[in-house]
Amino acid sequence: MGFIKTISMDVSLFLAKFWGWYLIIFFVILTFNPVRVKQIFEDLKDEKFLILSSLLATIVGLLNILFHNIWNPSWTLIITLIGWTSLFIGLALFIIPKATVIWLNYINVKLVQVIYMLLFLTGLFLLNQVYGIVLY
């Protein structure tokens, strides 16, 4: 049983590094190039881009869930929730693309600064769990 727990923690640490760095990098890109967000929503009007985006989100979400579907009330739950969110958004973009794009655009317009700060803080939190930079 200890072996499985060790593998599970290794996967949690790997995904915390992946999502932590991804969220920080995405935050930096959006901070220094905010036009990129508008470009993404414009590109979602193109069927090819929409299909590729939904496929990528679905695959990333599904892989995340298959490797890490841990519902413990700890920092590892964040990784699981990221995976499920990615899967749901990817599937919604496949199944109801126009409504999903409208919903995502609405959320982005209304909560853009909250979303940016959540990206940044979640990324920092996950990286801190892995590297233990700030002890608390």
Q: What is the pLDDT of residue 45?
A: 87
pLDDT of residue 70: 94
Look at the chain and report how many structural domains it folds into: 1
How confident is the model at residue 31, as a pLDDT? Answer: 86
Q: How many CA atoms lie within 13 A of 14 on its CB side?
A: 9
CA distance 129 to 95: 36
Where the chain has pLDDT below 50, the residues are none
Does residue 36 fall inside a structural domain?
Answer: yes
Is residue 87 included in any domain, yes or no?
Answer: yes
| Contact between 82 and 19 (Cβ < 8 Å) | yes
| Per-residue confidence (pLDDT) for residue 1, from 0 to 100 | 54
Predicted pLDDT at 128: 96
For residue 7, give the H/E element and its range: helix 2-32
Give domain status of residue 82, yes or no. yes
Residue 23: per-residue pLDDT = 96
| Distance, CA of 77 to CA of 64 (rounded, Å) | 12
**Residue 42's pLDDT is what?**
86
| Structural domain for 95, as ranges | 2-131
Rounded CA-CA distance 6/74 in Å is 16
Q: Are 57 and 89 in contact (CB under 8 A)?
A: yes
Q: How confident is the model at residue 38, as a pLDDT? A: 82
Assess if residue 136 is contained within a domain: no
Q: Is residue 123 part of a domain?
A: yes
pLDDT of residue 2: 59
The 3-state secondary structure of 51-116, one letter per residue = HHHHHHHHHHHHHHHHHCCCCCCCCHHHHHHHHHHHHHHHHHHHHCHHHHHHHHHHHHHHHHHHHH
